[in-house]
Amino acid sequence: RVGGNLAEVLDNISDTLRDRLQTKRDMSVLTAQSRASATIITGLPILLALGLYVFVPGYFAPMTSTFVGYVLLGIAGLLILIGNIFIRRMTALQS
C-alpha cells in the first residue's frame, strides 16, 4: 500500500478551501468602507455640479457655454474617473 489516508487528505483540502473562502469574505467586509467612500467621492462632485446647474443656472453657465468650461468639465470628469479607478484597485481583493 502506497500513499496516505485519502479521507484525511480530502478533509484537509476541504478545511483549507473553507478557510480561504472565509478569509476572502472577511477581507471583503474590511474593504467595504473604502468601496463606499469611493462611490461617495465619485458621486458627490457630479451631484453638486448637477445641483448648481439646475438650481443656480447662471452661476454654472460659464462651464456649459464656453470652450474653456467644456475643457474644464472634461478634465474634472477624467480626474474623477482616474481617482475612482485608483481607489477600486487599491481595495480590490486578489484571488
What is the signed CA dihedral for 67, 73, 77, 80, rounded to 10 degrees? 140
pLDDT tier, 95 (very low <50, low <70, confident <90, very high otherwise): low
Percent of the chain with pLDDT over 90: 43
Q: Which three cell numbers stand for residue 44?
A: 458627490
Q: What is the mean pLDDT of residues 28-55?
A: 88
Residue 2 has pLDDT above 70, yes or no: no
- What is the CB-side half-sphere exposure of residue 35 using CA atoms within 13 A? 10
Cα of 52 vs its chain's centroid, Å:
26
Give me the chain's average pLDDT, please.
Answer: 88
Runs of H (alpha helix) within the chain:
6-30, 32-55, 57-65, 67-91
Residues 38, 87: contact at Cβ < 8 Å? Answer: yes
Q: What is the C-alpha to C-alpha distance for residues 58 and 94, in angstroms, rounded to an integer? A: 47
Is the pTM value of this prediction over 0.85? no
Q: What is the pLDDT of residue 80?
A: 92
Residue ranges per structural domain of the chain: 1-30, 31-95
pLDDT tier, 78 (very low <50, low <70, confident <90, very high otherwise): very high
